[in-house]
Structure 1
Amino acid sequence: MTSPNVLGDSVAAIKAEILTLEDTRYDAVVGGDFELFAGLCHPDLTYSHSDGSRDTVESYLRKCRDKFYVYHRIDHPVIDVLVHGDVVVVVGEMNAAITANGTNKELANNSIAVWIRHEGAWKLLAYQPTPRR
């Protein structure tokens, strides 16, 4: 079940906005626009990785800027967008070609992204990928 948020936005409008933000955040890391990515994140972001490690927004951005993580390609099919007030959960996949700490990898993950309304804007609060293979 989904419900509009406290601002009265329609579920369809919220889903459309979140899907655009999902595209923007993935495009930002592939394109190396880490300032854009940072602007989409909640200060308390917990960013999990498919190897089980976790980062804060600061530690993740530092790794990206230092080229510990280099994203070459990401596709992210969405299976469902669950809207509950000012919390949205995006259920889907994250398939990518990356370099992590100098090692090239192909990722095939299921994923969950949690967005919340924070100071009038949608912000990424949590991300969790789970390897499919």
Structure 2
Amino acid sequence: MGEDHVGDPEDVRAVLAAEDRRYQAMLDADLATLDASCAAELSYAHSSGARDTKDQYLEKVRSGYYVYRRIDHPVERVAVVGDSALVVGRMTADLDVDGRPRTIDNLALAVWTRASGGWQLLAYAPTPLPA
């Protein structure tokens, strides 16, 4: 575990596990796990500048608008503050967006909230890196 992680080590581990589960569910188009991983109030931004609610995002994965082929998500820092957690890192991926192949390379900020039985994603914000 990196020195940069802040907060109870058990919470940090749980948030990292939730982050891994979410990315695996994106690859698998596992809507049940994605649904459980995301808070009802989710704000999910994309590197294109689009922003989705939870329902909009799940529908785009369900319909095949987003098809994830490969995702790498190295984490630089986790900070657990009260019932919130920030995950700072990077997200690179190969995916199809509306049938067109794309490769993305983003800085990534994920905000998680403590929910009954675990952690849920509250917000996701990528920052595209210059090509």
- Same fold? TM cut 0.5: yes
Aligned sequence identity (%): 42
Aligned counterpart, 1:95: 92
Q: Distance in 1 between matches of 2:87 and 2:55?
A: 23
CA deviations 1:37-61 (Å, max 9, x no partner) are 1101110000000011100110001
Q: 2:6 touches 2:78 (CA, 8 Å); kept in 1? A: no
RMSD of aligned residue pairs (Cα, Å): 1.2
Q: Distance in 2 between matches of 1:66 and 1:40?
A: 19
Question: How high is the TM-score relative to the length of structure 1?
Answer: 0.91
Q: Distance in 2 between matches of 1:117 and 1:106?
A: 32
Choose the corresponding residue for 2:52, options 55, 69, 84: 55
Q: Distance in 1 between matches of 2:36 and 2:92?
A: 23
1:37 aligns with 2:34: yes
Runs of 5+ unmatched residues, structure 2: none
Question: How high is the TM-score relative to the length of structure 2?
Answer: 0.92
CA deviations 1:7-52 (Å, max 9, x no partner) are xxxx100110111110000000101111111101110000000011
Runs of 5+ unmatched residues, structure 1: 4-10
Aligned counterpart, 1:67: 64
Aligned residues: 126
Aligned counterpart, 1:107: 104
